[in-house]
Amino acid sequence: MGSKTPDEHQQHPNGGAGNETTAKIVATPACAKTGLHGSDGEGDQGDNDDDDDDDKTTNLIINNEDKKKKRKRNKKKKKTAQGGLKQSVPPRVQVSALFSEGAFPEGELQAYSDDNLSRSTGEEQRYLSRLGDTMTPEFLRDYREAAEVHRQVRQHVQSILKPGVSLTHVADEIEEGVRALTGHPGVEKGDVLKAGMGFPTGLCLNNIAAHWTPNPGGKDILLKQEDVLTIDFGVHVAGRIVDSAFTTAFDPRYDELLKSVKDATETGIKHAGIDARMSNIGAAVQEVMESYEVALNGQTYPVKAINNITGHNILRYQIHGNKQVPFVKNKSKQKMEEGEVFAIETFGSINGVGRIRDGEGVYGYRRDTNVYTGNLHLSTAKALVKIIDANFGTLPFSRRHLEHTGCKNYILGMHNLVQQGIVEQYAPFVESKGAYVAQFEHTILLRSEGKEIISRGDDY
């Protein structure tokens, strides 16, 4: 899930690190500024416009009873040779039932290169302060469980992608799968904070770079043969968020675009490590990505690294931490440190400008817990902020997610919360009209013995 560079700057200006922050690990986690922002209207994938003015209701309705009473279909579960359960199709068996005693698969462990094995004294102290929180069996178990959920869900989704399938159906399969495999349906109060979606499902077509999701009541979009589709979603267990994304296309003419961005992401992973400098990572990634060209409609297009969106570190319950990982040349003085978790992601485009802009529509929301709520007067806003705090904390969420909890008639209250700065509202990121964008992303953990690519799978 990309982090947009601050104040619309490109990645080449100085990018000094701010003071390091640590997320509060509580039922309603502490807030950190995220890089979620919007883009321009050229990338609208349907009727995601903010139709808030149509809602004249001032009563907030929470109705979980209907969801609780929904009849569940029995899924056929096959036995494995070891006597345990085998995953159903579609995946609905909780992953903890498939792995005894929480022994979830480890990610790929890569050795560090020789130039990022050591730490300075100051960095060593900061690492030791994080040691008790991150380098524990519980931490690794939670992260590996989230990663296994991500792998199984995305592999199922890959099997259903074809021209004519609707994006709403794809989003349903992702979100229902994540809830089932984590064992947290997300209907009961506070259940989402235990495990589930880490942020709104991103389903981005063609020139949409990131942060588009189908909204309730919006026009459904059907995949076409010529589409380039990026799928970006997050899974969390106890606030440990796995952020991973991939791009797919039915038309082989886009193969080189996908190959270039995938190669660039792998280059970013290769150069990541203890004491690795963001400036070095960005330069290496850009060189690889922009060495590719794509032949399309009789013309040859160079692949451009998008220069105002970045990878990022991940904190507990905070998808975007306080560090950015650019994938173009830059002058950032930030470095990676042992015990940190990073989303290594790259975006490349053809027939575009190599830069994203703000678009129309609503992708999602995030609660800013640093903003005082005592001045709220609208009753629906007061009720809504309590629902958000109880169910999402600082996790970004969409209208789909909110309605899944049973919340209805919330538009007026949400308008008020956005106006007060209590909730941030986010929109899609888009490239120029006619462009095609691809993204690949993995979550990595910088451990003492190497970097664990937690989200690695057989697919990418």
CA nearest 323: which of 282, 354, 291?
A: 282
Query: How big is the chain by its Cα radius of gyration, in Å?
Result: 21
441 is in an annotated binding site: yes
How long, in residues, is the chain? 460
114 is in an annotated binding site: no
CA nearest 106: which of 139, 144, 145?
A: 144
Q: Is 8 left (phi over 0), alpha (psi -120 to 50) or beta?
A: left
401 is in an annotated binding site: no
User: How far does Cα 227 stand from its chain's mean position?
Assistant: 21
Query: Which residues, other chains included, contact 145 with Cβ-Cβ below 8 Å and sequence gap of 6+?
Result: 95, 96, 102, 104, 182, 237
Backbone angles phi, psi at 266, to 5 degrees: -65, -35
Structural tokens at position 248: 């797919």
Helix-then-strand count for the chain, H and E:
10, 20
User: How far does Cα 380 stand from its chain's mean position?
Assistant: 29
Specify whether the CB–CB gap between 273 and 324 falls below 8 A.
no
320 is in an annotated binding site: yes
148 is in an annotated binding site: no
**Annotated binding-site residue numbers:** 211, 232, 243, 312, 320, 345, 441
**Annotated binding-site residue numbers for substrate:** 211, 320
**Annotated binding-site residue numbers for a divalent metal cation:** 232, 243, 312, 345, 441
